[in-house]
Amino acid sequence: MKRYLISVVGFALLAAAACAQGVEQGNKNAPQFTPAWPMQTRAPAQDSGIQLQVEVLADGLDTPWGIAVLPDGGYLVTERSGALRLVRDGRAGPPIAGVPQVLAQRQGGLLDVALAEDFASSRIIFLTYAKPMGGRQSATAAARAVLSADGTELSEMRDVFVQNPPSPNAMHFGARVVPQGRYLFITTGEHFSNRERQFAQDVDKTYGKVVRVTLEGEAAEENPFGNEVWSLGHRNVQGAAIRPSDGTLWTLEHGPAGGDELNLIERGANYGWPVVSYGVNYSGAPVGSGKARADSFTEPRYYWDPVIAPGGFAFYSGDMFADWQGDVLAASLNPGGLVRLVLEGDRVVGEERFLDGEIRVRDVEIDRDGAILILDNSDGRLLRLTPR
């Protein structure tokens, strides 16, 4: 194993919240917008005083995207180019057989991986991917399969969700998958184009949605619109996790120029895209109505301007970073690094940056012993973080 030390980029938390300074992050893209409540953005900067030891569990990975921690040792890691690999004993094994064909173009490919809650007995896993749909079209899809006991192949592969309609634009797939009880939550994107982004407001299309299906792939009876849609009005949701303390689903969503969001997902809620946003289009032009919020839309629990370009995230649970219980640990692709958010109830009260601007982080998971796992997109590595 390769080990080395890095220092955390920490920031001072001042005693009085009114006087506290947020994390230094540059000029806003949309300075005309103000938060709906104090600390909805640029919460007071924190300094945990921790140094991290970093262990390289695997390198040479091709654009790694998702991680799953196996209960009996090892890790499953997806590569966007289409391979699923078992990482064990300091190396990534050969591609696991039986993975579905993917459209590995632009932002498409093999994306997330998650274990069924009964994986120890069932060996069932879930994958998300860009599914080729004929011609130049593709769709976000989720599949279930059984991983062999030796971790070398998948069997009984079948789709449990395919986004509708297919898109000619291989962008904004979303594609996190989160099992919870008898159901799966699957996040989607709206494929980026000006025409297709409007579908995020259409409950008959699974663009820009959080989808909820049974483990067999059927729309849950309790869903609000009589189909697979659980919530709507999303842009590109690439982070999703269940909060252990209360079982609620939270997501991280890419904004345009500004307006990345942390959302608490509620049944039937509309999060506003592309009608409202705390960001602006990349051209500088207003998004939709030109407003940051409206009464009919659900507010993000937190937003960033400028963006962090979020990937996956996890709620911390473990003994290794004992003071961080319940904190959000989020992947940042730009400027890069790991972002820690301190929560009180359903609101963010502090933010801390690690590895700031050093590496592009695509996913975050918590290891069996409480260590933090991150996927480094800059150099194709699976890294394990522990306190020094």
Are the CB atoms for 178 and 185 separated by under 8 Å?
A: yes
Distance CA 153, CA 258 (A): 42
Distance CA 363, CA 241 (A): 11
H/E run at residue 372: strand 372-376
Are the CB atoms for 75 and 90 separated by under 8 Å?
A: no
Distance CA 381, CA 387 (A): 19
Nearest C-alpha neighbor of 178 from the set 317, 68, 340, 333: 68
Gap between the terminal Cα atoms of the chain: 16
Sign of CA dihedral 204, 207, 211, 214: positive
Distance CA 357, CA 172 (A): 23
Catalytic residue positions, numbered: 172
Are the CB atoms for 341 and 330 separated by under 8 Å?
A: yes
Place of tokens 């009464």: 295
Tokens of 58: 């695997």
Distance CA 87, CA 81 (A): 17
Place of tokens 């939550």: 185
**Hey, what amino acid is at 55?**
E
